[in-house]
Structure 1
Amino acid sequence: MSAVRPARPERQAQRQARGAAARLSGRRAEVVAALWLMAKGYRILGFRLATPLGEIDLLAQRGGVLAVVEVKSRTSLEAALEAVTYEQRARLRRAGAHVAAHRAGLRGAVVRLDLIALAPGRRPRHVVNAWMGDQ
């Protein structure tokens, strides 16, 4: 005897509810990450910034550094680092360079790819130049 599968509309509703919860969780994580960066002296220039080359979770500036910040909620720092593929990192670097080239105040900025890792019950972890070795 096979298990009874929920009707198609019910499965779709469940999938939509999971997606909505994930988006809300992601937005909350980005707000926490932005607050953390601001406490460290960064100025937040954009949230979920859409560029022709991809979306940037957070764009932050401190001095002459433009940080393209990827925000990940995972159980460990290692899991957060591994969650961003090489292709995603390359796309984020290109998107950051595009923003720096097209905003007058950012033209001389050094573009850096950072990670804010969030884990339940732990302080946020800011990893500066998180994937420096794979440029």
Structure 2
Amino acid sequence: MNVRSARGAAARLAGRKGEIWAAIWLMARGYRILGFRLKTPQAEIDLLAKRGPILAVVEVKRRASLGAALEAVGHDQRQRLRRAGVTLAARRPSLAGASVRLDLMALAPGKLPRHIPDAWKGE
């Protein structure tokens, strides 16, 4: 295995571990996890979670700071993720009437996870 593919494999493993940690964090706060790494025509959703009437499309980012995690999700990606969440909600009868929201789970070395509901309000 060359250096580039080894880095890629390590990054994928770190990403999966981060998503599992984020899911545990959300479940401890009353969310039900509906899916991991859901591939849709619009985007791949890291975590799909539900609590009450809210369907949260959760983007998980591991960065050195919260600001860096927020900036790591560009405008186009946010729009694709929102459309993916709306499409999934429309296709699943159990999610009819759910309010779709785009959340961020920011992970930073040595810090507790930070869940930011509706991280990009007003966009």
Q: Quick check: TM above 0.5? A: yes
Q: TM-score under structure 2 normalisation?
A: 0.98
Q: TM-score under structure 1 normalisation?
A: 0.89
Q: Which one of 17, 29, 36 corresponds to residue 6 of structure 2?
A: 17
1:43 equivalent to 2:8? Answer no
Distance 2:28 2:72 in 1: 25
Q: Secondary structure at the match of 1:130?
A: coil
- Count residues in correspondence: 123
Q: Deviations over 1:87-122 (max 9, x none)?
A: 000000000000000000001100000000000110
Within-5 A mapping of 1:79-90:
79-90=68-79
Distance 2:39 2:27 in 1: 21
2:93 matched residue in structure 1: 104
Unaligned runs of 5+ in 1: 1-11
RMSD: 0.8
1:62 equivalent to 2:51? Answer yes
List structure 1 segments (4+ residues) > 4 angstroms apart after TM superposition: none
Unaligned runs of 5+ in 2: none
Paired-residue identity, %: 67
1:122 matched residue in structure 2: 111
Distance 2:110 2:64 in 1: 10
1:71 equivalent to 2:72? Answer no
1:94 matched residue in structure 2: 83
| Larger CA Rg, structure 1 vs 2 | 1
Distance 1:88 1:95 in 2: 10
1:6 matched residue in structure 2: none
